[in-house]
Amino acid sequence: MSVPTVEMQGVTFAYPDGHRALDGVDLHVHPGERVALLGPNGAGKTTLVLHLNGILTAAAGTVSIAGLAVEKDTMVEIRRRVGIVFQDPDDQLFMPTVAADVAFGPANLGLRDADLDERVAAALAAVGVERLRDRAPHHLSFGERRLVAIATVLAMEPEIVVLDEPTANLDPAGRRELAEVLDGLGHTMLLVTHDLPYALQLCPRSVVLNGGRIVADGPTRQILSDRALMAANRLELPYGFDPSIIG
């Protein structure tokens, strides 16, 4: 059995107001898996994700990425291993050109000259936006900025790519193009989404979080077909969408 890319054991976390956002979470994601993280608003999904790169620290339990514990002394390497693509790409794009944005992370790790250029070119090619390398990010469409944000993460050569609501604000064409990119990456992936058809399309496995606890973990089609489970966790499919016959 491979070393899990993500391993969380007994993770508990409460905010200063006393709200317990995670309550004994156990989660394993293995290399090459694509897993959807589902649940209603306030379930603890974002809190869980922020434990993966040490932005938040568990009050109890342990978190490790590819066998490396998430601790103060390992934080630089952990944040290289965990690439988080935030819901708003403008949170990640701040340099004058696309190429400079994609180069920023690897350059901070010490990559220079031809090695840096090669890393940037590979990341842009992986998401199909080589043509945008000299453009200003703020002049791009929302869908293009989303792809560039993913490229900034890929340039760090992460162990896992975490995407927070990747289809938010995308038109149907942008949604399809993004799916094609993600499907072709081959990375271990954790997809936080309310877009249940997208979860079915991209992620063979889904984990349902509610009240800070994992309440279901299994094949995505099976989870989306469980009407009682879906209703209990405020998960709703689009009208007319039947996961048992679509896909």
Share of the chain above pLDDT 70, in %: 98
The predicted structure's pLDDT at residue 118: 96
Tell me which DSSP letter residue 54 carries. Answer: T
pLDDT digits (tens, 9 = 90+) for 5-53: 999 999 999 999 989 999 999 999 999 999 999 999 999 999 999 999 9
User: In terms of Cα–Cα distance, which of 28, 26, 25 is closest to 5?
Assistant: 28
For residues 93 and 152, the answer to whether their CB atoms sit within 8 Å is yes
**For residue 207, what are the β-bridge partners?**
37, 217
Kindly list the structural domains of the chain, giving each domain's residue range(s) and its CATH number in brackets, ordered by start.
6-84+159-232 (3.40.50.300)
Give the C-alpha separation, 142 to 139, whole Å: 9
- For the chain, give the mean pLDDT: 94
**Full-model pTM:** 0.93
